[in-house]
């Protein structure tokens, strides 16, 4: 396994991050345990989750599964760099609570952290991430909550997810004024088929020393060799089929090029992300052990300049960084 510092921090994480969003809804608890055990055996020390995962409002199903796995002991908690998120709606449907609705108020963050700690059966969260931007709440309030949690030893580092470039800049400039470390990571949708973050998010992350954690690295399955797979399953979903139809010419060229390389499309997609110095650790979300172990090939796959150029031709992206991508 390869490791890297997460952004400008001293925290070292594996170059692949284990995403747990499928734990509960699609992967049973015993299978989830087996995947986490195998991940640790393979050297993956970076686990990502969120309070809303499990998709049963207010219950934190996925965090509970991880908590029961951690409670088995055996050095699990000491080894794992544990990341979770706050922002989403966590109030029970039977008794809605406006202060447990979406947002990043100090009350929401403090209560959200305490609830996640209980579900995860741990005394601290290594990376506590804001799951979305809350422009109705001042960052000074948000940072005051993070500072309190850090002083209490309940949170070690702060990260963001789905932030715009100017949100990252604003957050870190205000953190600097408070003599606070600020954001060390940003979790963004980023893949060959969706390169919008190259305009402003990636440049902001490089400037402020924020490590990029791409989610949906396979574009929801579009980059996973979908054309060679038998029809049916989750790929039969009408929304997926609509997305595939819109990008089919590119996907056909992409899979043909992967065939020329004699590599699996999913491995090429991950290797492309790993070739970007701004990227710390793409999130893989295996539903099975085979999917987990199969992802490791990407760490050994080094794409040369001609291969990267060909991928740029198939998926050209936004044309570079803003404003040069669209202005003279």
Report, as residue numbers or ranges, the catalytic residues: 53
Rounded Cα distance, 40 and 1, in Å:
10
Structure tokens belonging to residue 288? 């099975």
Rounded Cα distance, 186 and 198, in Å:
13
212 contact partners, CB below 8 Å, separation of at least 6: 185, 186, 187, 188, 190, 197, 201, 202, 205, 276, 278, 279, 280
Write the DSSP string, 30-74.
HHHHHHHHHHHHHT--EEE--TTTTSSTTT-HHHHHHHHHHTT-T
Rounded Cα distance, 216 and 222, in Å:
10
DSSP 237: -
Rounded Cα distance, 171 and 20, in Å:
27
Structure tokens belonging to residue 297? 């090939």
What is the number of other CB atoms lying within 10 angstroms of the CB of residue 256?
11
Rounded Cα distance, 134 and 125, in Å:
21
Rounded Cα distance, 51 and 143, in Å:
19
Q: What are the strands, taking DSSP E only, across the chain?
A: 3-5, 12-14, 17-19, 46-48, 81-86, 125-130, 155-161, 183-189, 211-215, 283-284
């Amino acid at each position: 396994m390869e490791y890297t510092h997460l952004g400008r921090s001293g925290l070292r994480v594996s170059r692949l991050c284990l995403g747990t969003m499928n734990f509960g809804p699609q992967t049973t608890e015993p299978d989830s345990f087996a995947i986490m055990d195998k991940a640790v055996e393979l050297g993956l020390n970076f686990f990502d989750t969120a309070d809303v995962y499990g998709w049963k409002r207010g219950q934190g199903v996925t965090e509970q599964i991880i908590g029961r796995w951690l409670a088995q002991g055996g050095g699990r908690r000491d080894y794992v760099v544990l990341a979770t998120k706050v922002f989403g709606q966590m109030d029970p449907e039977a008794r809605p609570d406006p202060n447990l609705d979406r947002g990043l108020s100090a009350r929401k963050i403090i209560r959200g952290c305490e609830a996640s700690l209980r579900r995860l059966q741990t005394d601290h969260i290594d990376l506590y991430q804001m799951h979305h931007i809350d422009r109705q709440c001042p960052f000074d309030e948000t940072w005051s909550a993070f500072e309190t949690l850090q002083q209490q030893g309940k949170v070690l580092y702060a990260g963001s997810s789905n932030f715009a470039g100017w949100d990252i800049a604003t957050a870190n400039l205000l953190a600097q004024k408070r003599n606070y470390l600020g954001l060390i990571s940003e979790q963004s949708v980023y893949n060959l088929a969706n390169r919008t973050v190259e305009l402003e998010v990636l440049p902001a992350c490089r400037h402020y020393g924020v490590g990029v954690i791409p989610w949906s690295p396979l574009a929801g399955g579009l980059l996973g060799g979908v054309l060679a797979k038998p029809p049916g399953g989750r790929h039969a979903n009408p929304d997926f089929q609509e997305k595939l139809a819109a990008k089919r010419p590119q996907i056909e060229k992409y899979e043909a090029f992967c065939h020329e390389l004699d590599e699996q499309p999913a491995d090429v997609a991950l290797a492309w992300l790993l070739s970007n110095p701004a990227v710390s650790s793409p999130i893989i979300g295996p539903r099975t052990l085979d999917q987990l172990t199969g992802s490791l090939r990407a760490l050994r796959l080094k794409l040369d300049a001609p291969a990267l150029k060909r991928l740029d031709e198939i998926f050209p992206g936004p044309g570079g960084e803003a404003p040069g991508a669209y202005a003279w």
